Amino acid sequence: MRKKIVAGNWKMNLSFHEAEALIHNLMDELEEAKPTAEVIICPSFPFIEMATDYMEEHLFKVGAQNISPFDSGAYTGEVSAAMLASMDVTHCILGHSERRKYFNEDDKMLTIKVNQALANKLIPIFCVGESLPERESGKHLEVVRRQVRHGLFHLDTDEFAKVIIAYEPVWAIGTGMTATPEQAKDMHSYIRTLIAERYGDEVAKATMVLYGGSCNSENALEIFSQEGVDGGLIGGASLKAEEFISICKQASIQDV
């Protein structure tokens, strides 16, 4: 077994001082807990520099929540993958359901962003997941299949091998309605089947697939112990140092 990954998606939360306090608390707690899981924090853009300034590779890495589809130039308000890479940012969340829904990011746009990330050596954390009506009408596999294929399967094997996938059922995000361990296990296994069909068994086995959606210190251990669940993408619970570290520790129990 390999190290699990726990990534905190702070979304659009916290003031500068709150973000600073959270980073300090995280550093203290990580120093003490020394989780073996790989820890990534994904703050909003204004706090990225602070996070990378404090970053110690052995404690945590820093990811962005979005990147521009463009290289550089006259695109007011955009932040490029190259800018982030030049600040020691290592990861980038892409395809999050909130960006698909509120910012109309479709498969075509996400393909461009995935390419941008990889061209700038950022590791995409590529999110997929069905809505509640899609789950209830039995379309969840079809939806996730489309998202994985359209967003990622244009990549060659070497490029694809760098990508992390996060299965985040939309109905579980911020609702307290976590997927059951079986639902998570089944979807992770399905995602791996898709990868195996396209890139072969070795790549499918090696791909990190995280679970996200109302994951917290109460349910992390059970979810992370499911076969094929390589860690978590954590929203609300990543804004409290103690809670987040507890999740990181639970991911670490599953290592090796």
Catalytic positions, please? Answer: 96, 168
Kindly state whether residue 168 participates in binding ligand 13P, applying the rule CB under 6 A. yes
Binder among 233, 245, 248, 251 for ligand 13P (CB under 6 A): 233
Cβ within 8 Å of residue 172, ≥6 positions away? 129, 178, 179, 212, 213, 214
CB neighbours (10 Å) of residue 104? Answer: 8
Nearer to ligand 13P, 26 or 204 (CB): 26
Does residue 212 interact with ligand 13P by CB under 6 A? yes
Q: CB of residue 122 vs ligand 13P: minimum separation in angstroms? A: 17
Among positions 174, 202, 205, 227, the unique one binding ligand 13P when judged by CB under 6 A: 174
Asked if residue 39 binds ligand 13P (CB under 6 A), the reply is: no
- Which of these segments, 43-51, 168-176, 189-197, 221-229, binds ligand 13P (CB under 6 A)? 168-176
- Tell me if 213 contacts ligand 13P by CB under 6 A: yes
Residue 204 or residue 234: which is nearer to ligand 13P going by CB? 234
Restricting to residues 43-72, name those near ligand 13P by CB under 6 A.
none
CB under 6 A: which stretch of 33-41, 133-141, 207-215, 221-229 binds ligand 13P?
207-215
What is the size of the binding site for ligand 13P (CB under 6 A)?
14
Site string for ligand 13P, 121-160 (x = CB under 6 A): ----------------------------------------
- From candidates 114, 215, 248, 251, binder to ligand 13P by CB under 6 A: 215
Written as one letter, the residue type at 235 is G
Restricting to residues 5-34, name those near ligand 13P by CB under 6 A. 9
State the minimum distance, in angstroms, from the CB of residue 237 to ligand 13P. Answer: 6
Does 231 participate in binding ligand 13P (rule CB under 6 A)? no
Whole-angstrom Cα distance, residue 128 to residue 137? 17
